[in-house]
Amino acid sequence: GFSSLTGTRPTNEDTEIIECIETQDVHLTIIAVFDGHGGQQASLYCKENFMSLFKAYLREFGVCEAIQKVCSQLDAEFCDLNSQAGTTATIAVYDLKNQQVVTANIGDSRTILSFSNQFFATKDHKPSDEAEKARIEQAG
């Protein structure tokens, strides 16, 4: 399941995906949350386009590379729309066949996983973090 809070804003700009891909070769569960900023346009765009791109990239690439390519493509496409809205993202893909979880996050959206009293959390990408600030400045 998932949880989404409005916080101090009057509206909730989050969108989410919970979907399975089952074929003879793969059994994946994809969970993604897109935390919209400045309106819901960016988070909706990601929700509406993520899975079709992910499925297409999975035909050629593994899960990690497919996620990277989808996120890069969604970013480029949405930037072309000249919207002022934006979104962060947190994505988890559970591969039942290989008993693996792949996580990715963009911005300050976080994935927290728990299994048998073991915990894992992604690290937020915030410019207030000195290492993240240096990475951003180096990237231009």
Q: Residue 83 corresponds to which tokens in the numbers above? A: 């919207």
Q: Which residue has the tokens 């993520």?
A: 50
104 in Cβ contact with 90 (< 8 Å): yes
Residue 9 pLDDT greater than 70, yes or no: no
pLDDT of residue 1: 61
Question: In 17-124, where does DSSP find H-type helix?
Answer: 41-58, 63-79
Residue range 109-124, pLDDT digits in tens: 888 888 888 887 878 7
Q: At the top level of CATH, which class does the domain 14-139 belong to?
A: alpha beta
Spatial separation of the C-alpha atoms in residues 44 and 46, rounded to whole Å: 5
pLDDT of residue 119: 81
Q: Residue 18 corresponds to which tokens in the numbers above? A: 């919970």
Listed by start position, the domains of the chain span: 14-139
Residue range 56-85, pLDDT digits in tens: 999 999 999 999 999 999 999 999 999 999
Q: What pTM does this model have?
A: 0.84
